C-alpha cells in the first residue's frame, strides 16, 4: 500500500537506538557522533520504491562520505509476513546492492514507531546537533532516475553542509507501508 511520510516537527531531536547491523555489530546514535550530518532511512529489501532508489542512495553516500555525512538504513518490516525482509536477506540485499552505509534491523519495530516512520523509504536528515532539518523525498521521480529534475535530498544535505537553512518545500517521501506485526 502506497503511503507518504508523516509531517514531523522540524528541529526535533534524533532518537537513540541500539540495533544490529548486517555486519553483526550493534549500532547506536553515538556511533555516528563524529559526522556533521546523519541521514536515517527506514527501508527494506522487497519494496519496489526502495529497489528503485537504492543505487541513488549508495551514490549519495559515496558523494558525501568524505564531507562528514553518514547514511544509516533501518529495516523495521515484519519478516514473518515478508520473509524477503529477514535479517539474512538484508545481508544479501546489502551485498547485492553494494551498499556503503550501515543497514540495521529493527526487529521489534520500536525504533520505527518512535520515529513515527510509516513508509519505505522514509527519510530523516539531522544536523550536527542531531536536530531534524529535512524530512522528505530523495528526488522528484522515484521510478526513472533519468527524468529527475529536483534532487531534494542532495540539495538539503548541501545546504546543511554550507551552514544554511533548507529554503524549499519539503515534499513527503512515498513508498510501501511499513509491514507492522
Domain with 154 in it: what CATH number? 3.40.30.10
pLDDT for res 16:
98
Contacts of 73 (CB under 8 A, 6+ apart): 41, 42, 43, 57, 99, 101, 102, 103, 104
pLDDT for res 3:
81
pLDDT tens digit at each of 181 positions of the chain = 778 888 778 999 999 999 999 999 999 999 999 999 999 999 999 999 999 999 999 999 999 999 999 999 999 999 999 999 999 999 999 999 999 999 999 999 999 999 999 999 999 999 999 999 999 999 999 989 899 999 999 999 999 999 999 999 999 999 999 999 9
Smallest Cα–Cα separation from 56: which of 135, 127, 119, 148? 148
Smallest Cα–Cα separation from 104: which of 34, 38, 6, 48? 38
Per the structure, the complete domain to which residue 164 belongs is given by 2-177
Number of domains in the chain: 1
pLDDT for res 8:
79
Using alpha carbons only, what angle is made at residue 2 by residues 57 and 157, rounded to the nearest 5 degrees?
30
In the structure grid, which three cell numbers stand for residue 79, read together?
A: 519478516
Helices (H), 30-86: 48-64
User: Global pTM?
Assistant: 0.97
Judge contact between 176 and 52, C-beta under 8 A: no
pLDDT for res 32:
98
Amino acid at each position: 500500500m502506497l503511503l507518504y511520510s508523516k509531517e514531523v516537527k522540524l528541529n526535533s531531536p534524533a532518537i537513540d537506538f541500539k540495533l544490529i547491523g548486517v555486519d553483526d555489530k550493534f549500532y547506536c546514535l553515538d556511533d555516528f557522533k563524529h559526522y556533521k550530518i546523519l541521514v536515517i532511512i527506514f527501508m527494506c529489501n522487497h519494496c519496489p520504491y526502495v529497489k528503485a532508489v537504492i543505487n541513488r542512495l549508495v551514490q549519495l553516500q559515496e558523494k558525501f562520505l568524505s564531507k562528514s555525512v553518514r547514511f544509516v538504513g533501518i529495516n523495521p518490516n515484519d519478516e514473518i509476513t515478508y520473509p524477503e525482509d529477514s535479517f539474512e536477506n538484508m545481508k544479501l540485499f546489502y551485498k547485492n546492492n553494494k551498499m556503503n552505509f550501515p543497514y540495521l534491523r529493527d526487529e521489534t519495530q520500536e525504533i520505527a514507531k518512535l520515529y513515527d516512520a510509516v513508509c519505505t523509504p522514509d527519510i530523516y536528515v539531522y544536523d550536527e546537533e542531531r536536530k531534524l532539518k529535512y524530512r522528505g523525498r530523495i528526488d522528484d521521480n522515484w521510478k526513472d532516475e533519468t527524468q529527475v529534475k529536483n534532487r531534494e535530498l542532495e540539495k538539503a544535505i548541501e545546504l546543511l553542509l554550507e551552514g544554511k537553512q533548507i529554503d524549499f518545500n519539503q515534499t513527503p517521501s512515498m513508498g510501501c507501508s511499513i509491514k507492522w506485526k
